[in-house]
A and B are shown apart, each in its own frame.
Chain A
Amino acid sequence: MRFGIQKKIAGGYVLIVFLIVMSTTVIQIKTNQQMLAYTMTAHQYHQAERATFELFIAIRNEETAIRRYFLTKDPQFVAAFRNAQQQIAREKEVLEELLADDEEALSCLQERILPTAVYLDALLEDALANGQTEVTSYWLSFPGLTEDFIRAEKDLYFLLNQRHNKAMFAQHAYLQQSYRLWAFILILPAILASVLGLIIARGITGPLRKLMQGIEGLKSGAYRQIDGVRSKDELGALVNAFNQMADTIERNRLELQQSHQTVQQALEKMKEIDKLKTEVLNTVSHELRTPLTSILGFSELLLQNSALDAKAEKYVQMIHKETNRLSQLVNNFLDLQRIETGQVKFNRQMVNLRTVIEEVVESFQAQSFRHTIEIHLPNDLPPVETDPDQVARVLGNLLSNALKYSPRADKVEVEVERVAPDLIAIAVKDYGLGIPPAEQEAIFKPFYRVDHADRQGISGTGLGLAIAYQTARSLGGELRVDSQDGKGSTFTFTLPVTVSGA
C-alpha cells in the first residue's frame, strides 16, 4: 500500500496545479520581458519624437535669434542664440543616444538636419569675428529654412513616428498572440487532467471489475484466482485479500468434499454391511425352514403314530413345542424384515372392521381358556377402506402380547373408538404385569424384552410388538403404550381410514 488511491488522486491534482502554475509563471515572465522590450522601444521613439520636436524649435529659435541680431545688432539676441545653441546641443546628444541603433534616423538627423545648425553657428561666429552684420549679407549667405530642410524635418519626424507606431502595433500583436497562448496553456492542463483522471479511474475500475468477476465466479462455485492486478493501493490489497479468501474457501470446499466423500464411503459401506447382514439373516432364516419342517413334521408323526412311553412322548412334545417356537421366530423375523424394507404390498379394500376384529379375537380366545376377551365396539362403525390382513396382524400381535403378559388376570379388553371422522383407535387393554416407564419406548424395538424375574418362564421372540409397531406405521397409523408397572398396559393403535361415502 505504498500509493493509496487518495494519494494517487491527490498526486495527480498537485501535478496538474504545479504544471499550470509553472507554465503560467514562465509565460508571465516571458511575456513581461517582451512587453517591456516593446514598451521600451515605443517609449524610446516617443522620447526621440519629443527631442526632435524640441530640436526643431531650437533650430527655429536659433535662426530667429541670428536674424534679429543681424537686423538690430542687439547683443541680447546673441544670448538668445546661445541659449538655442545649447538647447540644440542637448537635444542632439539625447537624440544620438536614443537613435544609436537606428542608422536611418541617425543619418537623417546628422546629414539633413544638423548641418543647418552647424551652418548657423558658423555664420554667427564669422559675423562676430569679422563684424559683418549686415542683413543683406545674412540673406545672401543664408537662404533661411528651405523646403528641403522642412521636408527633412518631416521625414525624420515621420520616421520616428513610424518607429513609435510600429513598436505599439508589435506590442499589441504580441498581446493578441499571448492571449492565444494563455488560452492554450489553460486548455492543456484541462486535457491533461482529463487524461490523468481517466488513467486513475481505469486503475480503479479495472481491478473492481475483475473483483466483481471473481465474486460472481465464487458465487456460482467456479473458483478462480484474480490475476493481472498489480496495483499496490487499497484495491491491490482488496484483490489480495479476496484471493486469500477464495483460496481458503476453495481449500475448505475441497476438504469438505473429501470428508463428505469419506463419510459417504463409510455410509455406503455401512449400508452394504447392513444389506449383507439382512441378506445373511434372510438366507439363514429361509434355510432354517427346511430342517424346521422336517423336525416339526417328524415329531408330529411320532406323537401321532408311535406307541411311545410316557417319558419319550414328553420329550417329543418338548421338541415339537420348541421347534414351533423357533419356526414362529423365523416367520416373525422375516415378516419384520419385509415390513421394514417396504416389501409388503397393501391390499386395501372396503371392510367391516367389526368382522375383522371379531375374527382375530375369536382365534385368540380359542387359544386361551383362562382369559375372557371383551370387545367394546360402537354400533355405528361404518365400513372403512384399509388392509384387513395388516389390521389383523397388528391386533393379533397386541392380543398375543396382552394374553402372554397377564398370567394372573382373567380378562383382556379390546376397545374400538372413532376418535375423528377418519381416525379409528383400537385399544388393547390388559391387567397384567405392565411395563416400567423407562422401558416403554424400547419395547417397540426388535428382540427387546423386559427383563424381570416375574417374566421368566414367559416365552416370546421379542418381535411381536416390533411387527405391530412397524405395521401400524406402514398403514399410516401410530402405536402407543400407556402402562403402569404391575397394573397392566393399554396399547392404542390409531388407524387413519377412508370412510365409505365420505
Chain B
Amino acid sequence: MKKILIADDEPAIRFLIRATLEDQGYLLLEAADGLEAYDLARTELPALIVLDAMMPQMSGYDLCARLKADPVYRRIIVLMLTAKAQEEDRKVAEMAGVDYYLPKPFSPNELTNIIRSLLTQKA
C-alpha cells in the first residue's frame, strides 16, 4: 500500500484531501506544519507528498528543496498545492524541484487523477 503524506496547516484542506483519497487504497499520513511534514517524510518515506506551499515553521518550497537535495529522499514525488496561482510562484516551485503544481481551488476528481498518474509514471 503506497504511503501519501498530506501536509497542510488548514485542517479543512487536510480533511478534504483525506476524504478525496481515502477510498483509493493509499496509506494516508498528515502533518500540520512544515517541520512535522519534513520529519514524517524522512521517517516514513512516503511515495508522494501533497504539499501546501505556505506553511508555518518551514515553507513547502523549502521542504521540497531539502528533500530534492538528498539522494535518498529525492524520489519522493512532490505535488504542490498553492493559493497563489502566479507565474512567479510556479517558477519558484520549479526551481525547488516540485513534480507537479496544482493551484487552489482544485477539483477533488482532478487531484485523484493527477496522483494516480504521478504514481504510475514513477512506478
Contact = CB atoms under 8 A, between A and B. Distances in A.
A301 B19 contact: yes
Interface string B88-108: 100000000000000011111
B43 interface: no
A331 to B, nearest CB: 7
Nearest to A324: B105
Contacts of A334: 85
Given A296-B105, A296-B107, A297-B108, A289 B12 contact: no
B88 A289 contact: no
B20 A289 contact: no
Contacts of A345: 87-88
A290 B87 contact: no
Contact of A297 (B16, B85, B87): B16
Nearest to B85: A331
A294 interface: yes
Given A293-B106, A297-B106, A345-B88, A286 B83 contact: yes
Contacts of A338: 86
Contacts of B16: 293-294, 297-298, 301
Interface string A268-304: 0000000000000000001001111110111011001
B24 interface: no
B13 interface: yes
A71 interface: no
B116 interface: no
B116 to A, nearest CB: 15
A290 B108 contact: no
Nearest to B86: A338
B109 to A, nearest CB: 6
A304 B12 contact: no
B42 interface: no
Nearest to A345: B87
A341 to B, nearest CB: 12
A292 B105 contact: yes
A225 interface: no
A377 to B, nearest CB: 28
A331 B104 CA distance: 10
Q: Helix, strand, loop or mixed for chain A's interface?
A: helix
B84 interface: yes
A289 B19 contact: no
A346 B75 CA distance: 33
Interface in A185-201: none
B105 A293 contact: yes
A286 B88 CA distance: 16
Contacts of A297: 16, 19-20, 105-108
A88 to B, nearest CB: 152
A296 B16 CA distance: 10
B88 A290 contact: no
User: Which one of B13, B20, B108 has the greatest number of beta carbons of chain A within 10 Å?
Assistant: B108
A327 interface: yes
A344 interface: yes
Contacts of A293: 13, 16, 104-106
A338 B88 CA distance: 11
Nearest to B11: A294
B10 interface: yes
Contacts of A298: 16, 19
A98 B75 CA distance: 158
Given A294-B12, A294-B13, A301 B86 contact: no
Nearest to A344: B87
Contacts of A327: 105
Nearest to B110: A300
Contacts of B107: 296-297, 300
B42 to A, nearest CB: 27
Closest 5 CB pairs of A and B: A293-B105, A289-B83, A297-B16, A294-B12, A293-B104
Given A290-B104, A296-B105, A297-B19, 12 more contacts: A286-B84, A290-B12, A292-B104, A292-B105, A293-B16, A294-B10, A297-B105, A298-B16, A301-B19, A304-B109, A331-B85, A344-B87
27 contacts: A286-B83, A289-B83, A289-B105, A290-B10, A290-B104, A292-B104, A293-B13, A293-B16, A293-B104, A294-B12, A296-B107, A297-B16, A297-B19, A297-B20, A297-B108, A300-B108, A301-B20, A301-B108, A304-B108, A304-B109, A327-B105, A331-B85, A334-B85, A338-B86, A343-B88, A345-B87, A347-B87
